[in-house]
């Protein structure tokens, strides 16, 4: 009963089957194979526009490599202070960009605040040789708080960015959860909302290790292949990364997975929201949320065998559900929380 | 009938089975799982010494990340001019070391020449602030020419290196082929011969995407985890990389695979070595070799459906066999080559 | 009548004389000269401890090169949000460290707040492979707001830093102004207060282009020479950089210069502090300060020929005095400001 | 009597005078001053074309910064194996380009061999994601052997380079010596011969610390200012670097200096060329050359107080003359060499 992360799960059976199917005969390496070709076509179809698509195997690579062609070494990249690229990648964006500077901004519920971004862009650093040069904005969709940007929120930021000649990157580790949560098309919250490059997650959505960097601005991808190769992220047996993406993206498996994990988060949150002493800290719009509850309740849950990360403040934990979260585990969590929360109140009274 | 590379093959069934077996239940991410622990133990047992082991998914990552902790940004790394790190990684070692300089040296049959290395080290650059500082030597075992360093050849170079305070790296993409070819123990041609860090290949030996960076000098690995993470090479679902390594390394599968591919290379080389106009360019000691033959013979082979890379000079091709090369394909190649070589001689006469 | 910066001034006559004197005969290049030797001795004497000293020519080089040996590429460097390294060096620390991350913190009057630093260090990122690793703290003395850290304020931060195994860097572009302002010894606010490496400024204190990186922790400097060279900061005719430092540091010229510039700032601030509508925004403890006054007064000063930078907020300017600021210019500024401030009040009434 | 290098000399009196003259009043920093404007004009006039000009203070900075905008991080830069950028800059080009790869080629007399360059470019690495991408060629004029490329030799290489879409850089540390030696115009052996960017040396030609990066392809310089700043090479009191360049370049001082140093080299070489056992190793076309002579003669010269570097092989030294080499020192060298060479022959007989 592990709610630590959507990466503690295994791999969906459809994806295991796709890997087995891909393992037939020889295929040229490094992406010169049929499956990779099909994924490229599939992505363009799904997003209703021509794209350039590059499979990689980790989210950190997907983000940092995308940024490597969006900001020069002397560039500045604006992001939320909780963004994965800012906090959880041990400096990968700095490595792959050759030293670009991340400028992190606060913002409620894990979302970039357009007004604060405008303040930064109004500082007059553009063209000033002493300052890192504004180059890109990176949004996380769904956010690290489990909230989701609506299309017009993305538009507001991307218009601001483009007006100042910045590129717009989206860390879409949980992009499927956002699409499902909003009930929109992939295009609506990506290129139609001004996103230039999307790092589309697969690993946390049931794949083994597969992400896709999708360029809506294809000119930006001209040198991408070199960056991917010298980063050690060009797989020789690429077909096995591509096969995972194909299995996810065709026939809607990615959205089915996301719908399930979103539903499980919703169910868990709803089940504990009104318990005494418990507070859900963010709107639950995707498959993760933060919740505060008394220490004794947290300890009780842990004693009952539930796993989660304590983070986000005192008596606060992060709950993440996944494509294969068992509803029975969710219900067991609710029951355990109910019991411990009640006990906590009694002892406090 | 593809002899282009040992990475055009698929994945061995034992490894597919291991992936399926690993896909049971949840497991903590980023290497905090049982399979990764077992791989660490397995490697230390196989190499008969305590090691620090880090799984990654590509050979370029395995080499460049190893070097990232073996040479400072102002360092020099000596290697053969044909070394993969020098020619085929689009600058990955330079990226991960922060700009270290590869100094490439010629040498017969793809092997570093100890005398030439000594000449370089005798130039007096050590301690001279104007020069990149000698930091490491990298050997490729088996070499890019398909030859194999004997233990005493490695010792000669590593003694020279250590005497000058350089570290010794081994690119062991085809290390299994070398162990099998020599009939020695893994230890004999690694740490017992002075190797400090080994990038052990799995992908070309039947895995999907799995390599291991093995530190015999464990102190060197202290900061390695940070470099791997910021390189985007720390897999969240690490167990699936580790499971491949485990399947390969336990019960001798890696050596069985290597023995087969070596045997297929031997068989093919023996079958064509005495054909008119054909010349094997290197001793055949592992699973690849270069061969020169008349253009019409090459064209004939291609017309018969054989694939290989034309490289290494005029009328020259590289032949690579793999863990699952079909002996019938080898025999077909020999038959086709015999026919075309004979025809070439006739038309020349 | 230019109050834009202490780098719009020329060079002190004593320093021009030292350059002329240094221009006698041949001398070995790259710091292998007598003057450089004497500067090393002089610095150790002045700071009452053994040091390792490296002359360079710009403040950005002095800071970024110092940091290059204080933080690894995966490291984090804590600094004030207004720090020169954070705002005004176009990513130089990122370049020279290979991509380390600057984590900037707010703090009153340009000073790092020890409590906020502790909060950061308590986040538990040390040893967590996902996070940039805490490596160094950088203080600016005097600060970018013209305030000065007292010895015990520095101690508080350096104790915190050392307790967490971080190194302490001091950007001492205006270190002389701080020493003079506090009336302390150089040692008291550097190594005795826990500073490991000091970037000591000369250029803004009357030199042409001369700074010194001073290692109190000499072991840290082992590889510094290589970083300086590959940064292009090892001067072939080094004696001419060293001669500037020698002229400044011997016979107290550096402190005489600083005393004058501090006095001029004090005089200017005192002269305008009580004018209507004018507010000095920081304690005036060195040779620069920020002041707010009505737009018409600012425009009036500009019309009268005074130059300064508009920065730090609306109707706000930065005033910087220098080693050779003419008291008559200061008095003229006060007179002009008085006239325009009075006029502004009249028109507002 | 120091023949070690043209950087062991001091500074020409005209340049000291220019520095004194520049030290009048305040001037805006960072190149926003009148002298820097005049240098830009002067360079364009001298080279008979519009240029973009950036002063810096060291030759390593001039080379590495120029290359930083001529090659991407995944690029390859071709140069002679003896090139300063390859051997003597401790990896500065690698630092400033973010890890580009220098591919060094042999060639007689320190000159790149166009046929060998063509061989490299014909290898088919362009567009191949596994290889560093050919980006630039760097020529050294005059070469590290003291020879000089004729205009048509430069043309041959730059045509080859441009045909393959590579940029052409010239390390012109001793460009003045080449211009003087050839008796040509600066344009003839720079942009008219296909050079895109020239690193023009001043320091070794009588300046204190002044070089100019000259872009004939001005579009290439768009981001140069940022690279210079983040490299710590934007001087706040820039006028003092520019003043040196102005003094050198106006009224032909740079060529007068070069003519003298070339003449001194010629005189010295002529004086010893026919001595027994002595062999001048390269054509003497600028202000340095290599010479081989018996060890006893070398020891004798050293005992007589002559300084030079022993390098380039056994019993081999490098002789460098400078703008202010005293003819009496040259004649004394000849006399000493004659005496010792004769003695060497006697004792050998």
Give residue-wise pLDDT tens across range A259-317: 999 999 999 999 999 999 999 999 999 999 999 999 999 999 999 999 999 999 999 99
**Residue D307 to chain A, least CA–CA distance (Å):** 43
Q: Bridge partners of A101? A: A76
| Minimum CA–CA partner of B132 in chain D | D90
Supply D41's token pair: 């004009």
Nearest to C91 among A88, A90, A101 (CB): A101
Chains that touch B (3 or more CB pairs under 8 A): A, C, D
- What pLDDT shows up at residue A349? 67
pTM for this prediction? 0.97
Q: How far apart are CA C142 and CA D63, in angstroms?
A: 35
Residue with tokens 């049982």: B34
CB B216 within 8 A of CB B47: yes
How many alpha carbons fall within 13 Å on the CB side of residue A115?
A: 2
Verify whether the Cβ–Cβ distance B230 to C30 is below 8 Å. Answer: no
Burial B269-283 (b: 16+ CB within 10 A, else e): bebbeebebbebbbe
Indicate yes or no: CB of A30 within 8 angstroms of CB of D225: no
8 Å CB contact between D102 and B101: yes
Which chains does chain C touch, 3 or more C-beta pairs < 8 A?
A, B, D
| Nearest residue on chain C to A132, alpha-carbon basis | C90
Pairwise CB contact (< 8 Å): C227 & B74: yes
- How far apart CA D293 and CA D301 sit, in angstroms, is 11
- The helix-helix angle for C239-249 and C34-46 (nearest 10°) equals 30
Q: Are C261 and C177 in contact (CB under 8 A)?
A: yes
Is the interface score ipTM higher than 0.95?
yes
pLDDT at site B346: 86
The number of helix segments (H) and strand segments (E) in chain C equals 13, 11
Residue to mutate among C84, C231, C238, C307, with most D CBs inside 10 A, is: C231
> Which residue of C87, C91, C132 is in closest CB contact with A90?
C132
DSSP string, D107-156: -GGGPPPHHHHHHHHTT--TT-TTSPEEEEEEEESS-TTS----HHHHHH
Query: Which of chain C's residues have a Cβ under 8 Å away from the Cβ of B30?
Result: 129-130
Contacts of B99 in chain D (CB under 8 A): 91, 94-95, 98-99
pLDDT, tens only, B170-189: 999 999 999 999 999 999 99
C90: closest CA of chain A, how far (Å): 4
D26: Cβ–Cβ under 8 A, 6 or more apart, which residues?
C2, C8, C9, C10
In angstroms, the separation between the Cα of residue A102 and the nearest Cα of chain B is 15
Cβ neighbours of C55 in B, within 8 Å: none
Contact list, B98 vs chain C (CB under 8 Å): 73, 98-99
DSSP C268-332: HHHHHTTSTT-EE-S---SSEEEEE--HHHHHHHHHTT-B-EE-SSTTEEEEE--TT--HHHHHH
- In whole angstroms, what is the distance from residue C288 CA to residue C207 CA? 18
pLDDT in tens, C79-107: 999 999 999 999 999 999 999 999 999 99
Confidence of residue D74 (pLDDT cuts 50, 70, 90): very high
Determine whether the interchain pair C73/A87 forms a contact, defined as Cβ–Cβ distance below 8 Å.
no
Backbone angles phi, psi at B61, to 5 degrees: -60, -40
Nearest CA in chain D to B312: D123
* Chain A interface with D: residues with Cβ < 8 Å: 30, 72-74, 98-99, 129-130, 133, 223, 225-230, 234
Q: How many CB pairs under 8 A join A and D?
A: 43
Note whether B229 contacts A204, CB cutoff 8 Å.
no
pLDDT at A186: 98
Select from C98, C89, C26 the least CA-distant residue to A91. Answer: C98
Q: How many CB atoms lie within 10 A of CB A105?
A: 18
Which of A73, A90, A99 is closest, CB to CB, to C129? A90
Cα–Cα distance, A224 to A90 (Å, whole number): 22
Mean of pLDDT values over B329-340: 96
How many Cβ atoms from other residues are within 10 Å of residue D116's Cβ? 14
Name the pLDDT band for B347 (thresholds 50, 70, 90).
Answer: confident
Give the residue among B276, B214, B281, B282 at the shortest CA–CA distance from B245: B214
**Alpha-carbon torsion D31, D36, D41, D45, what sign?**
negative
pLDDT over 70, % of chain B: 100
Beta-carbon separation of B64 and A204 below 8 A: no
Across A251-349, the runs of DSSP E, i.e. the strands, are: 279-280, 288-292, 309-310, 316-320
Interchain proximity B91–D101, CB inside 8 Å: yes
Chain D interface disruption, residue of A64, A74, A125, most D CBs within 10 A: A74
- Please report, for residues A61, A102, A219, D100, the alpha-carbon distance to residue A97 in angstroms, rounded to integers and kept in the order given: 12, 11, 18, 14
**Candidates A62, A94, A235; nearest CB to B57:** A235
Q: Model confidence over B204-228: pLDDT tens digits?
A: 999 999 999 999 999 999 999 999 9
The reply to whether residue B130 touches residue D100, judged by beta carbons under 8 angstroms, is: no
**Long-range pairs of A191-194 with CB within 8 A, sequence gap ≥ 24:** A191/A47, A191/A49, A191/A216, A192/A151, A193/A151, A193/A152, A193/A154, A193/A155, A193/A158, A194/A154, A194/A155, A194/A157, A194/A158, A194/A159, A194/A161, A194/A162, A194/A168
What span, in angstroms and rounded, lies between the C-alpha atoms of C169 and C177? Answer: 18
* Crossing angle of helices B34-47 and B239-249, rounded to 10°: 30
Q: From CA B108, how far away is CA B102, in angstroms rounded?
A: 19
Residue B141 pLDDT greater than 90, yes or no = yes
How many residues in total does chain C contain?
349
In A11-58, where does DSSP find H-type helix? 13-22, 34-47
Strands A279-280 and A75-80: unpaired
Report chain B's terminal Cα–Cα distance, integer Å: 31
Q: CB-based burial of residue D263 (10 Å sphere; 0-12 exposed, 13-18 middle, 19+ buried)?
A: middle
Buried residues in B199-218 as b, exposed as e (16+ CB within 10 A)? bbbbbbbbbbbbbbbbbbbb
How many pairs of residues across C and D have Cβ atoms under 8 Å apart? 147
CA distance A236 to B66: 19
Measured at the CA of B225, the angle between CA B222 and CA B227, to 5 degrees, comes to 100
DSSP secondary structure string for all residues of B240-272: HHHHHHHHHHGGGHHHHHHHHHHHHHHHHHHHH
Q: Over chain B, what is the mean pLDDT?
A: 96
Label residue B349 by pLDDT band (50, 70, 90): low
Residues A254, A237: contact at Cβ < 8 Å?
no
Question: Nearest 5 degrees, angle CA B96-CA B97-CA B102?
Answer: 110
Which residues of chain B have a CB within 8 Å of the CB of D75?
A: 91
- pLDDT score for C75: 98
DSSP string, D207-225: -SS-EEEEESSGGGGTTHH
- In chain C the first and final C-alpha atoms are separated, in Å, by 31
Residue of B nearest to A226 (CA): B90
Nearest to A210 by CA among A234, A187, A244, A176: A244
Cβ of C101 and A87 within 8 Å? Answer: no
For residue D215, which of D9, D12, D5, D54 has the smallest C-alpha distance? D54
Residues whose CB is less than 8 angstroms from the CB of residue D254 and which lie 6 or more positions away in sequence, other chains included: D176, D202, D205, D206, D248
Distance of residue A72 Cα from the nearest chain D Cα, in angstroms: 9
Task: Using an 8 Å CB-CB cutoff, list chain D residues near B84.
Answer: none
A229/B10 Cβ within 8 A = no
Share of chain C above pLDDT 90, in %: 95
- C349 confidence band (pLDDT: 50, 70, 90): low
Cβ contacts of B223 on chain C, cutoff 8 Å: 72, 74
pLDDT reported for residue A210: 98
Q: In this complex, which of B73, B223, B229 lies closest to C130 when CB atoms are compared?
A: B229
**pLDDT tens-digit profile of C150-189?**
999 999 999 999 999 999 999 999 999 999 999 999 999 9
Q: Are D128 and B88 in contact (CB under 8 A)?
A: no
Do the beta carbons of residue B22 and residue B33 sit within 8 Å?
A: no
- Strand order across the beta sheet in which A133-140 lies: A52-56, A211-215, A197-201, A167-172, A133-140, A75-80, A101-105
C242-268 average pLDDT score: 98
């Amino acid at each position: 009963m592990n709610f630590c992360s959507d990466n503690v799960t295994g791999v969906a059976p459809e994806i295991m089957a796709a890997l087995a199917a891909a393992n037939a005969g020889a295929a040229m390496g490094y992406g010169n194979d049929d499956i990779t070709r099909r994924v490229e076509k599939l992505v363009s179809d799904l997003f209703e526009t021509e794209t350039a698509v590059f499979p990689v195997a980790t989210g950190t690579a997907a983000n940092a490599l995308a940024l490597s062609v969006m900001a020069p070494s002397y560039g500045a990249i604006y992001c939320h202070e909780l963004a994965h690229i800012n906090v959880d990648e041990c400096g990968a964006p700095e490595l792959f960009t050759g030293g670009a500077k991340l400028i992190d901004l606060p913002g409620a519920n894990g979302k970039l605040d357009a007004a604060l971004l405008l303040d930064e862009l109004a500082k007059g650093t553009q063209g000033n040789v002493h300052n890192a040069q504004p180059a890109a904005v990176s949004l996380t969709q769904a956010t690290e708080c489990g909230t989701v940007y609506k299309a017009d929120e993305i538009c507001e930021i991307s218009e601001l960015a483009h007006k100042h000649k910045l590129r717009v990157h989206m860390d879409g580790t949980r992009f499927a959860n956002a699409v499902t949560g909003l009930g929109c098309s992939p295009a609506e919250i990506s290129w139609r909302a001004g996103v230039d490059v999307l790092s589309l997650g697969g690993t946390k959505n049931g794949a083994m290790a597969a992400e896709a960097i999708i360029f809506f601005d294809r000119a930006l991808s001209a040198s991408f292949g070199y960056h991917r190769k010298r980063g050690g992220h060009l797989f020789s047996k690429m077909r096995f990364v591509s096969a995972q993406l194909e299995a996810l993206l065709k026939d809607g498996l990615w959205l089915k997975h996301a719908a399930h994990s979103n539903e499980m988060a919703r169910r868990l949150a709803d089940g504990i929201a009104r318990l005494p002493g418990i507070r859900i800290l963010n709107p639950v719009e995707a498959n993760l949320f933060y919740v505060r509850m008394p220490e004794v309740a947290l300890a009780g849950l842990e004693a009952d065998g539930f796993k989660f990360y304590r983070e986000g403040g005192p008596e606060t934990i992060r709950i993440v559900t996944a494509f294969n979260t068992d509803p029975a585990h969710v219900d067991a969590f609710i029951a355990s929380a109910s019991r411990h929360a009640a006990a906590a109140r009694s002892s406090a009274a």
